[in-house]
């Protein structure tokens, strides 16, 4: 489309490059093609999302329990069932609200795309200039683009006057590029004769014929691709769903089984048997789990924000912990994006100390060309600042040390510019210099050297001989081999012309001045971060648009490249490579992608995911949005990133620094371990909550625990300590371990055994010991009826409750570590945990000792001795768990197999 003759282009579109479309034809096309706007795929309403959270498995079980409790209260008022019903409804509403806000992520991606589009557009129809809503543009319209305008649609230029357009939001180019009316590249995005929807005109003006509108524009395709990318399954969400299903199945099977058995054993009314089954279900369902997980993730997200990593999706906090591959950009992420002139090759010599060893006379022609063949601008009010491309800015900053750059540019006005393109890799300007017209050349050495036939030696041109070429080539390879960005500078006089066109530019006869090596140094701390991340078993793949020599050099400096011959894949090679071949190449130990266009990231990410990797991707442009969304965790740049990239990502690096990922990965691993600790602590109380109901059913003892006390444990005494475990600092070896496998479960058989078979069993024994000790001391004998309203029965219930709380406090202290000793972790290092323990003690004592709460919970006051009667069991949990961890550190295999969850 952009390469055919303009006459053929107009014929195909049925339009005129002078008068534009006829208004009637434009109206017909608008009716047929639709408006020039971006269409958002249909989404679920927020109300639907909210109600879905009220109907998960946990919620359905609790709704059923609440319904039966309301029915029981209606049939038998005054039995306390109304309190159970209200509590269960409250639990469902609280969990649903937490889960909604946890999973809710406002659909801002399309809004960001739409915000990039202008509201009004200048269009020529029937030869008349008019201003219309941008949404009414159609293919074939002739639009006028002026300085400060946002381009309203994709269009081909037919007339330009010093028009420069900033395509950064679409292509990642940091410098506004001069536009032309002729094609400069076979690829549409790289060609200078087209402008694209959503980009900004920085200077000049132009006329262009629209060839794509709405979703058919480049930005529309990016938007459509971003929406089309399937929503990935976040690992932690999948784990919680898996755990929920297991616990719900256990609760339903046990509740139904107990109900069926009670039909044959208990002589109570049917409704009482149903309420009894409700107690079994409630005891098995960890009602406080989802709020605990949400608040735990929030704590981790806040800690990451303190390290300049802003997490947008809470569930993604943990994803970094299981990341196996990081695909990272180079410029600005691994490096400072601050170029500096490091070395020059002049007079066949390499000069490293350019500020002190060179005389101004030696630099005269170099300074002239570097200053004139340049589109950056020095900031007059700041000592060393500049606006524009970092490479060109570094050249001006260097020139400023030797002469007044602004005065030189004003005295040598530019007559014409052939801008740098990906195809030519050169920039050429024509300037008036001291009454003569001079062609100034700056570009990639391997291509620009072909235009030179002379070399400047001691201020005078000499023929470019083979020995000169060898010296030049050696310097070029040395500069590039050290990661420097290398440019060749040359000049020649040209015949005087009043006007210049691209065809008038010289193709040979240039005088080679020299080479300049500029370096964008690695960010401080990046090398250490790369080393630590690789030690943690995470693979790092560099994806850069820069040259392969620079990419390799930087990769070696920071430790991404450690072998002699890493696999290097260029963008043009990737374009012709099949998926099977790409999969094969990714099996190499170390791979670097260079000269890569942003849209190719998506393909690389999908290939890595086909291999089973958990992939993190960094990106900053509009075209990075699909890859950021496809990645298991997308990481956008906070300083240089576009709004669209930030909205598509799950995490934003506020400082654009790769090193920030290191504490984020550590935090992700820590939160997974801490969630396992929290869940193990939370589900342990299910055993002492369920066993009393089974004992009541099988042995006919008075029921030792009420449903309200079960809820008070799940949502009261255990809640804050469980949340506080999320703020537990990581164990010392966490970054020496490999990433967890996708197959590793948050809740596995080892954790279940540790919680149910080990600690839960001890807690159940502690509860029965306290319960029967109080009852027997009060004169009760097995088989003797014990009415619910008697003081002794209520004291026994209170003792059982106190035993669970006491053992759970020991459990939460022991559960702070999985491998190392509790003494190594620091007994008092987690302040939040001790605050949670204090709250637990206050709440538990209130339930036991405050008379107004006795009726609600079925308890009675206890003396201090009965409150602490289960202390030997609590001490046993602490000591036995410390012994278990000691055996794990000694690699005792049967202990590791059973309990190292």
Q: How far apart are CA 853 and CA 859, in angstroms?
A: 8
Distances (CA, A) of 407 to 289, 463, 491: 69, 33, 20
Q: What are the tokens at 661?
A: 């990922």
Q: How far apart are CA 277 and CA 186, in angstroms?
A: 73
Ramachandran bin of 840, using left for φ above 0, alpha for ψ from -120 to 50, beta for the remaining angles: alpha
Choice among 329, 620, 714, 881 that is catalytic: 329
Tokens of 288: 């406080």
Residue 268 is given by DSSP the state S
329 classed as catalytic: yes
Report the SS3 class of residue 896: helix
Are 680 and 901 in contact, with CB atoms under 8 Å apart?
Answer: yes
Residue with tokens 């995490």: 651
The tokens for 754 are 């540790």
Alpha carbon 665 to chain centroid, angstroms: 11
Cα-based distances in Å from 102 to 97, 98, 106, 298, 897: 8, 6, 11, 9, 34
- Do the Cβ atoms of 229 and 601 come closer than 8 Å? no
Which residues lie below 8 Å from residue 43, measured CB to CB, with a gap of 6+?
107
CA 589 to chain centre: 25
How many Cα atoms sit within 13 Å of 446 on the Cβ side?
7
Instruction: Please tell me the distance from the alpha carbon of residue 491 to that of residue 430, in angstroms, as a whole number.
Output: 10
Two structure tokens written together for 21: 């479309």
Q: How many CB atoms within 10 Å of residue 477? A: 13
**Cβ–Cβ under 8 Å, residues 566 and 542:** no
Q: Say what the alpha-carbon torsion angle 637, 641, 642, 648 is, to the nearest 10 degrees.
A: -20
The residues, any chain, with a CB within 8 Å of residue 649's CB and separated by 6 or more, are 312, 619, 628, 634, 635, 636, 641
Give the integer Cα–Cα distance in Å for 355 and 400: 11
Q: Are 526 and 558 in contact (CB under 8 A)?
A: yes
In what helix (H) or strand (E) does residue 510 lie, and over which residues does it extend? strand 510-519
Other beta carbons within 10 Å of 893: 10
Q: How far apart are CA 654 and CA 448, in angstroms?
A: 39
Contact 709, 858 (CB under 8 A): yes
Within 13 Å of residue 661, how many CA atoms lie on the same side as its CB? Answer: 36
Q: What DSSP assignment string belongs to 15-54? A: --TTTBB-HHHHHHHHHHH--SSPPPPP---HHHHHHHGG
- Catalytic residues, by residue number, are 329
């Amino acid at each position: 489309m952009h390469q055919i003759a303009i006459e053929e282009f107009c014929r195909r579109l049925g339009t005129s490059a002078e008068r534009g479309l006829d208004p009637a034809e434009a109206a017909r096309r608008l009716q047929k093609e639709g408006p020039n706007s971006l269409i958002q795929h249909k989404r679920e309403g927020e109300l639907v999302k909210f109600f879905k959270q009220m109907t998960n498995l946990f919620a359905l079980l609790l709704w059923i329990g609440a319904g039966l409790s309301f029915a029981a209260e209606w049939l038998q008022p005054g039995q306390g069932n109304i309190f159970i019903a209200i509590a269960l409804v409250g639990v469902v509403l609280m969990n649903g609200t937490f889960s909604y806000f946890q999973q809710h992520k406002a659909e801002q991606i399309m809004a960001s795309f739409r915000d990039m589009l202008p509201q009004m557009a200048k269009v020529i129809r029937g030869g008349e200039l008019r201003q219309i809503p941008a949404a009414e543009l159609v293919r074939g319209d002739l639009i006028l683009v002026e300085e400060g305008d946002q381009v309203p649609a994709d269009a081909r230029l037919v007339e330009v006057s010093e028009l420069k357009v900033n395509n950064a939001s679409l292509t990642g180019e940091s410098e506004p590029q001069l536009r032309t009316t002729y094609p400069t590249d076979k690829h549409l995005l790289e060609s200078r004769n087209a402008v694209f929807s959503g980009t900004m005109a920085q200077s000049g003006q132009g006329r262009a014929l629209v060839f794509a509108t709405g979703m058919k524009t480049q930005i529309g395709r990016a938007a459509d691709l971003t929406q089309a990318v399937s929503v990935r399954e976040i690992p932690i969400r999948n784990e919680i769903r898996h755990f929920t299903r297991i616990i719900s199945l256990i609760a339903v099977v046990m509740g139904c089984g107990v109900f069926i058995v009670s039909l044959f054993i208990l002589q109570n009314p049917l409704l009482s048997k149903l309420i009894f089954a409700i107690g079994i279900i409630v005891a098995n369902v960890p009602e406080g789990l989802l709020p605990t997980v949400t608040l735990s993730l929030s704590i981790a997200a806040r800690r990451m924000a303190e390290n300049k990593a802003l997490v947008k999706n809470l569930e993604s906090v943990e994803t970094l912990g299981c990341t196996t591959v990081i695909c990272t950009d180079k410029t600005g992420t691994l490096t400072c994006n601050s170029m500096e002139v490091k070395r020059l090759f002049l007079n066949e010599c390499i000069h490293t100390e350019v500020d002190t060893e060179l005389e101004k006379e030696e630099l005269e022609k170099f300074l002239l060309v570097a200053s004139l063949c340049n589109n950056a601008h020095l900031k007059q009010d700041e000592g060393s600042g500049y606006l524009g491309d970092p490479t060109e800015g570094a050249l001006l900053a260097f020139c400023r040390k030797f002469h007044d750059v602004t005065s030189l540019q004003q005295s040598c006005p530019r007559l014409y510019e052939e801008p740098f393109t990906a195809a030519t890799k050169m920039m050429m300007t024509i300037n008036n210099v001291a009454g003569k017209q001079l062609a100034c050349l700056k570009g990639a050495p391997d291509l620009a050297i072909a235009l030179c036939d002379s070399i400047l030696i001691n201020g005078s041109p000499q023929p470019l001989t083979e020995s000169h070429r060898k010296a030049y080539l050696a310097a070029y390879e040395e500069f590039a081999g050290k990661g420097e960005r290398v440019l060749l500078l040359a000049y020649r006089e040209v015949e005087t012309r009043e006007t210049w066109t691209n065809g008038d530019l010289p193709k040979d006869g240039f005088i080679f001045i020299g080479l300049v090596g500029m370096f964008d140094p690695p960010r401080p701390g990046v090398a250490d971060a790369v080393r630590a991340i690789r030690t943690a078993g995470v693979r790092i793949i560099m994806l850069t648009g820069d040259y392969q020599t620079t990419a390799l050099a930087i990769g070696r400096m920071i430790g991404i490249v450690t072998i002699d011959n890493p696999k290097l894949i260029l963008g043009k090679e990737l374009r012709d490579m099949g998926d099977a071949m790409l999969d094969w190449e990714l099996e190499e130990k170390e791979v670097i992608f260079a000269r890569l266009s942003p849209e190719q990231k998506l393909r690389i990410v999908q290939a890595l995911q086909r291999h089973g990797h958990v992939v993190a991707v960094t990106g900053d442009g509009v075209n990075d949005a699909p890859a950021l969304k496809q990645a298991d965790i997308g990481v956008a740049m906070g300083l240089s990133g576009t709004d669209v990239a930030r909205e598509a990502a799950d995490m934003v690096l506020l400082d654009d620094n790769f090193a920030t990922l290191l504490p984020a990965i550590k935090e992700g691993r820590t939160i997974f371990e801490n969630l396992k600790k929290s869940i193990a602590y939370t589900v342990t109380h299910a055993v002492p909550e369920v066993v009393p109901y089974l004992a009541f059913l099988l042995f006919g003892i008075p029921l030792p625990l009420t449903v309200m006390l079960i809820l008070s444990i799940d949502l009261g005494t255990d809640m804050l300590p469980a949340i506080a475990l999320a703020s537990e600092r990581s164990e010392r070896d966490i970054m020496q371990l490999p990433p967890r496998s996708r197959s590793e479960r948050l809740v596995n058989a080892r954790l279940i055994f540790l919680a149910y078979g080990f600690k839960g069993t001890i807690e159940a024994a502690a509860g029965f010991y306290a319960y029967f000790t109080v009852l027997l001391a009060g004169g009760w004998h097995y088989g003797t009826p014990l009415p619910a309203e008697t003081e002794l029965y209520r004291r026994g219930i209170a003792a059982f409750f106190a035993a669970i709380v006491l053992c759970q406090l020991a459990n939460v202290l022991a559960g702070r570590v999985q491998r190392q000793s509790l003494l190594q972790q620091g007994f008092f290092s987690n302040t939040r945990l001790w605050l949670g323990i204090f709250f637990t003690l206050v709440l538990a004592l209130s339930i036991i000792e405050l008379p107004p709460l006795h009726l609600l919970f079925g308890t009675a006051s206890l003396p201090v001795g009965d409150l602490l009667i289960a202390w030997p069991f609590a001490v046993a949990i602490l000591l036995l768990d410390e012994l278990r961890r000691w055996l794990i550190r000694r690699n005792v295999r049967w202990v590791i197999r059973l309990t190292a969850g």
